[in-house]
Chain A
Amino acid sequence: MATSSINVPSAGPVAGSRSFLSRLRDGDEIARVITFLFAATVVLVSVMLVVELWIGSALPRHKFGFGFFITRVWDPIAENFGALPFIYGTLITAAVALLLAVPLGIGAAIFLAELAPQKLSDPLQFFIDLLAAVPSVIYGLLGVFIVIPIMREWIQPALKNTLGFLPLFQGPAYGVGFLTAGIVLAIMVIPYIISVSREVLLSVPRDQREAALALGSTHWESTWKVVVPFARTGIMGSIFLALARALGETMAVTMVIGNTPTISTSLFSPGYSIAAVIANEFTEATGDMYLSALIELGLVLFLLTFILNGLARLMMLLTTQRGSGMGMT
């Protein structure tokens, strides 16, 4: 869905003086045109996607207008459709996932890149890359057979007994719900955060560390105060990737979220996400309005991803200006 990138300073046009023909002969221009075309297809596909979703969702856009975003009902029989519970579910599960995955993932990446001996770091990285390649239905099954029973029998009662005064941890413990979906998503996105963050940390120049150590800082101080801030942009990139995956994940979420369009402050409550409802109902959607409403949900998910990525990038821009001001090299 969304794209995240690690900023690499571009080489820039260096061949200003040479003629077009000579550059063409050298292959520079050909390479430029070809790679430009490749880059353009990505944009083209995104644009086509939006146009298709826009055209496909004409019926409910005209019928419900902006009300589509704030209506709680999803009734295929009465053809009354609102996206609010699905937007809510998508955001809550992604938030829970990132809340759990970001500290864990970045912590693990720091250990692997800075503290662990190479003999340990490389094999561990191999396993982490392996985890990133596991199909999501496997994570869903893991959720159904392991996470759900553990949640229902232990974690949810424990949370209720200790933090039950918070509205977040109230209501019956079914095992399925926002919290479980968030945890399964966290397990799924952690490998992305670790993998990308570790690479970024490893590519921080050696001089930075040596300079910090020379100034008398400890190993941990040089890691936390110099290396990590230096790699901040890249680490944020890994979080975007994780966010995008969490927002768009379908199979694993639908298996553990409970598939009930509800809005509840309790994380124990069953919910529903945009991707899950599309996957569940698309094949059997009979009426034109019903089908178009599902397509409009797709458009909403696209918008949501777009906005969240934009906000995250803005946040990054603001924090890097204030901080070290250095991107990753």
Chain B
Amino acid sequence: MLLLVLALGGLVLAQNALLINGAGATFPSPIYSKWFDEFHKANGTQINYQPVGSGAGIRQVTDGTVDFGASDGPMNDEQIAAYKTKNGSGILHFPTVLGAVVPTYNIPGVSGALNFTPEALSGIYLGRISKWNDPAIAVANKGVSLPANDIVVIHRSDGSGTTYIWTDYLSKVNPDWKDKVGKGSSVNWPVGLGGKGNEGVTGLIKQTPNAIGYVELIYAAQNKIPYGSVKNSSSAFVKADLASVTEAAAGAVKTMPEDFRVSITNATGKNAYPIASFTWLLIPERFKDTAKRDAMKSFLKWAITDGQGAVETLSYAKLPKEVVEKELKAISKVQ
């Protein structure tokens, strides 16, 4: 009997251990899982994270069905206003890690890495450049014999942060893209075939001669998919890697707004890779439950400092020091 009481008591205690729920972006999900696991071991606070997509993450945190959200694209002003009217207080963005999107292709007879100018990429995706030997592509790839074949454009069919970053970049470098298509996790593509997920895009590219597409840097790195370099705003051709992505973030620090909602595509910096982005945790400004608030704050502090040590093993780029310092100050806004 006593044993039973003890066992039940134990169960009740276990249930009282703090549980925080979050939902959102799929892209940072591997590093978040690792962080939440390590944080749980160290502090006993359990954080559940459902990688349901950025859009669903924003919706769920606004509706209050989860304690925090996560997104690959910052919330827009309307969404923040909607959050305020619904919850009576604001929501804060905290960058956690960085990701990048790389162009990948399959051209029979071309094995080396190609260089892409912003004009070439936007022209291809607008459907204005339709052959591989177009001067706009050839001018950056002297010595490579490009075939006179039609380009098959591949994009993501599912709504995705990867598409958000890619179209955000195209919007910045090409005014026509901005007017006609715009940026978002799904857009009205002028040309091309859609593949589902990074694996769908990669599959289509591998199978279709003369195809071009875009995938996450992490996915390309882990699956050893060759990808091209992109010309940045300092006119240097940069091949994406963790250092060039972090440098893109560092270049954006000076112009970074207080709420961290900043796009770092086409960033300044000599070696900055131009198609990169932060991914954000969306933390409510006010928590009703003070225990949850304190746990969330200590998790944030840990993730952007000690937690950064683990990110590169999973092929994410680290936050630059300047951003970490800025964020540490911003954590006090959570009340």
Query: Do A and B interact with each other, yes or no?
Result: yes
A149–B208 CA distance with the chains assembled, in angstroms: 9
A195 at the interface (CB under 8 A from B): no
Query: Is the CB–CB distance between B157 and A270 below 8 Å?
Result: no
Q: Which chain B residues lie closer than 8 Å to A174 at the CB level?
A: 152, 193, 208
Query: Is the CB–CB distance between B194 and A280 below 8 Å?
Result: yes
A255–B152 CA distance with the chains assembled, in angstroms: 17
A73–B158 CA distance with the chains assembled, in angstroms: 17
CB distance from A234 to the nearest CB of B (A): 37
Q: Which chain B residues lie closer than 8 Å to A272 at the CB level?
A: 194
Query: Is the CB–CB distance between A281 and B159 below 8 Å?
Result: yes
* Chain-B contact segment, one of A75-83, A96-104, A203-211: A75-83
Task: Name the residue on B nearest A276 (C-beta).
Answer: B157
B182 at the interface (CB under 8 A from A): yes
- Contact pattern, B 301-318, Cβ under 8 Å of A = 1, otherwise 0: 000000000000000000
Query: Is the CB–CB distance between A283 and B56 below 8 Å?
Result: yes
Q: Which chain A residues lie closer than 8 Å to B194 at the CB level?
A: 258-260, 270, 272, 280
- In the complex where A149-B207, A175-B207, A254-B157 touch, is A284 in contact with B196 (Cβ < 8 A)? no
B53 at the interface (CB under 8 A from A): yes
Q: Which chain B residues lie closer than 8 Å to A152 at the CB level?
A: 207-208
A235–B95 CA distance with the chains assembled, in angstroms: 59
For residues 165 through 189 of chain B, which have their beta carbon under 8 Å from a beta carbon of chain A? 181-189
Q: Which of B56, B160, B189 contacts A260 (CB 8 A)?
A: B189
- Contact pattern, B 179-212, Cβ under 8 Å of A = 1, otherwise 0: 0011111111100111110001001100110000
Query: Is the CB–CB distance between A284 and B193 below 8 Å?
Result: no
A52–B182 CA distance with the chains assembled, in angstroms: 32
A78–B182 CA distance with the chains assembled, in angstroms: 8
- In the complex where A260-B194, A280-B157, A283-B53 touch, is A76 in contact with B150 (Cβ < 8 A)? no
CB distance from B55 to the nearest CB of A (A): 4
Query: Is the CB–CB distance between B184 and A76 below 8 Å?
Result: yes
Q: Which of B150, B157, B185, B188 contacts A172 (CB 8 A)?
A: B150
CB distance from A297 to the nearest CB of B (A): 13
For residues 51 through 103 of chain A, which have their beta carbon under 8 Å from a beta carbon of chain B? 73-78
A253–B271 CA distance with the chains assembled, in angstroms: 42
A212 at the interface (CB under 8 A from B): no
A24–B129 CA distance with the chains assembled, in angstroms: 78
For residues 274 through 303 of chain A, which have their beta carbon under 8 Å from a beta carbon of chain B? 276, 279-286, 291
Task: Name the residue on A nearest B150 (C-beta).
Answer: A172
- In the complex where A175-B207, A259-B196 touch, is A285 in contact with B183 (Cβ < 8 A)? no
CB distance from A295 to the nearest CB of B (A): 13
Q: Which of B58, B188, B193, B196 contacts A76 (CB 8 A)?
A: B188
A285–B152 CA distance with the chains assembled, in angstroms: 27
Query: Is the CB–CB distance between B157 and A77 below 8 Å?
Result: no
Interface centre among B157, B181, B196 (most CB of A within 10 A): B157
Query: Is the CB–CB distance between A284 and B185 below 8 Å?
Result: yes
- In the complex where A149-B207, A284-B186 touch, is A258 in contact with B193 (Cβ < 8 A)? yes
For residues 116 through 149 of chain A, which have their beta carbon under 8 Å from a beta carbon of chain B? 144, 148-149
B104 at the interface (CB under 8 A from A): no
A176 at the interface (CB under 8 A from B): yes
A144–B205 CA distance with the chains assembled, in angstroms: 11
A76–B184 CA distance with the chains assembled, in angstroms: 8
Q: Which chain A residues lie closer than 8 Å to B204 at the CB level?
A: 176
Q: Which of A149, A176, A284 contacts B159 (CB 8 A)?
A: A284
Q: Which chain A residues lie closer than 8 Å to B182 at the CB level?
A: 77-78
For residues 273 through 315 of chain B, which have their beta carbon under 8 Å from a beta carbon of chain A? none
Give 13 CB contacts A-B under 8 Å.
A76-B184, A76-B185, A77-B188, A152-B207, A175-B207, A175-B208, A254-B157, A259-B157, A259-B194, A270-B193, A276-B157, A285-B55, A286-B184
Top 5 nearest A-B pairs (CB, nearest first) are A284-B159, A259-B194, A283-B53, A259-B157, A75-B188
Residues of B within 8 A of A (CB): 52-56, 58-59, 79, 150, 152, 157-161, 181-189, 192-196, 200, 203-204, 207-208
